[in-house]
């Protein structure tokens, strides 16, 4: 979500993610012809007062004149596919808002709505195209803005996890092929397919890193099988929609059980499966805290949000 607010102009974005327990901040320098460079990264406990922590980090990192994007927690918004309304662009958000009235858990007039365009599939058969509707309670968005205003941060945009993951996945694209990526928070997973820098598919998974890491024996095997089946179905759906677009690889963001998951997916899927290493596309030499692969997995999405281009 791009906010219409006057903030200091800067080329690079500072991404801030607050998940209730932790505040993550990242700034990536975009350098023509070179790997983007992670210039600022910090993580701090958010308890008991995220506002005080954010104010302190703003002072310490001298961010008061930065161009900032806030990464919403996954539970604070819904991402829903809807048929694109046949209305002028200026009326699109309003039309989408009322299409969501039967699926939102609150009245549509209480929602802040944005849209993410989706590429038209080659096998659409002339059917109307789809878009992704992003809906969040307006009160939650206002609270987010107030939090950042209180810390004297120039909040210019609000991001979602799907687009942050898209930003990072796009760096791994080669030629005209698509890239699939799956990552995990403690409670949930996120599967995306990206091609030509655009998000083509996004699926939220109801299995997170915590369940996978703590499970053992038959329970873990069952969870791995469920994940493999869900990703297989998602890739089959992508193939039906975009039959001429090949997925080159699936990247799995690291966490404690990633080796077992990679093996399970490699045995079930038809594409090569690799463990993600952000150092291949992002210069993190000045941030030793991210050299460990599990740390990369925990902070992957704030890094992706900092790669925002507009």
pLDDT in tens, 236-281: 999 998 988 999 999 999 999 999 999 999 999 999 999 999 999 9
pLDDT at 127: 61
pLDDT in tens, 159-172: 999 999 999 999 99
pLDDT at 9: 45
Q: How confident is the model at residue 124 (pLDDT cuts 50, 70, 90)?
A: low
- In this prediction, residues 43-49 reach a mean pLDDT of 87
Q: Are strands 198-205 and 178-184 parallel, antiparallel or unpaired?
A: unpaired
Q: How confident is the model at residue 2 (pLDDT cuts 50, 70, 90)?
A: low
pLDDT at 4: 45
Rounded Cα distance, 48 and 288, in Å: 27
| 113 pLDDT above the threshold of 90 | yes
Q: How confident is the model at residue 126 (pLDDT cuts 50, 70, 90)?
A: low
Which among 240, 262, 264 has a CA at the least distance from the CA of 251?
262
Q: Please report which helix (H) or strand (E) contains residue 251, including its range.
A: strand 247-252
Three-state SS sequence of 72-107? CCHHHCEEEEEECCCCCHHHHHHHHHHHCCCCCCCC
Three-state SS sequence of 108-146? HHHEEEEEEECCCCCCCCCCCCEEEEEEEEHHHHHHHHH
Architecture, CATH, for domain 13-73+141-161:
2-Layer Sandwich (3.30)
Q: What is the CATH number of domain 77-137?
A: 3.30.1490.300
* Whole-number percent of the chain with pLDDT over 70: 94
Sign of CA dihedral 190, 110, 16, 8: positive
- In this prediction, residues 28-34 reach a mean pLDDT of 88
- In this prediction, residues 198-211 reach a mean pLDDT of 95
* Whole-number percent of the chain with pLDDT over 90: 74
For the chain, which residues make up each domain, given as ranges? 13-73+141-161, 77-137, 172-280
Q: Are strands 189-195 and 155-159 parallel, antiparallel or unpaired?
A: unpaired
Q: What are the tokens at 79?
A: 């991402």
Q: How confident is the model at residue 123 (pLDDT cuts 50, 70, 90)?
A: low
pLDDT at 8: 43
Assigned CATH topology for domain 172-280 = Nucleotidyltransferase; domain 5 (3.30.420)
End-to-end CA gap in the chain:
11
Per CATH, 77-137 and 172-280 having the same topology is answered: no
| 47 pLDDT above the threshold of 80 | no
pLDDT at 86: 87
- In this prediction, residues 56-83 reach a mean pLDDT of 93
pLDDT in tens, 288-302: 889 889 999 999 999
Yes or no: say if 188 and 208 are a contact pair by the CB < 8 Å rule: yes
- In this prediction, residues 53-65 reach a mean pLDDT of 92
Lowest-confidence pick of 3-12, 32-41, 77-86: 3-12
Which among 145, 169, 6 has a CA at the least distance from the CA of 69?
145
pLDDT at 46: 85
Yes or no: say if 269 and 250 are a contact pair by the CB < 8 Å rule: yes
């Amino acid at each position: 979500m791009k906010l219409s607010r006057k903030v200091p102009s800067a080329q690079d974005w500072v991404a801030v993610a607050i998940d209730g327990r932790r505040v993550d901040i990242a700034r990536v320098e975009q350098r023509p012809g070179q790997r983007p460079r992670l210039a600022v990264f910090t993580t701090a406990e958010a308890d008991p007062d995220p506002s005080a922590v954010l104010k302190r980090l703003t002072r310490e990192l001298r961010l008061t004149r930065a161009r900032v994007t806030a990464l919403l927690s996954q539970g604070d918004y819904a991402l829903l596919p809807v048929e694109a309304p046949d209305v002028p662009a200026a009326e699109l958000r309003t039309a989408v808002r009322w299409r969501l009235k039967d699926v939102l858990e609150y009245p549509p007039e209480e929602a802040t709505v944005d849209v993410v365009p989706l590429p038209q599939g080659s096998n659409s058969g002339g059917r109307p195209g789809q878009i992704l509707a992003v809906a969040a309670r307006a009160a939650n968005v206002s609270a987010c803005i107030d939090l950042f205003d209180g810390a004297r941060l120039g909040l210019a945009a609000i991001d979602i996890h799907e687009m942050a993951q898209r930003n990072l996945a796009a760096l791994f694209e080669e030629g005209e092929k698509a890239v699939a990526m799956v990552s995990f928070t403690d409670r949930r997973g996120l599967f995306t397919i990206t091609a030509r820098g655009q998000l083509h598919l996004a699926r939220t998974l109801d299995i997170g890193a915590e369940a996978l890491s703590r499970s053992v024996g038959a329970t873990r095997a069952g969870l791995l099988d469920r994940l493999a089946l869900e990703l297989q179905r998602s890739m089959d759906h992508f193939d039906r929609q975009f039959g001429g677009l090949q997925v080159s690889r699936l990247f799995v963001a690291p966490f404690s059980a990633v080796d077992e998951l990679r093996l399970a997916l490699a045995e079930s899927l038809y594409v090569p499966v690799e463990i993600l290493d952000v150092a291949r596309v992002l210069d993190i030499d000045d941030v030793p805290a991210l050299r460990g692969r599990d740390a990369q997995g925990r902070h992957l999405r704030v890094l992706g949000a900092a790669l925002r281009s507009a």
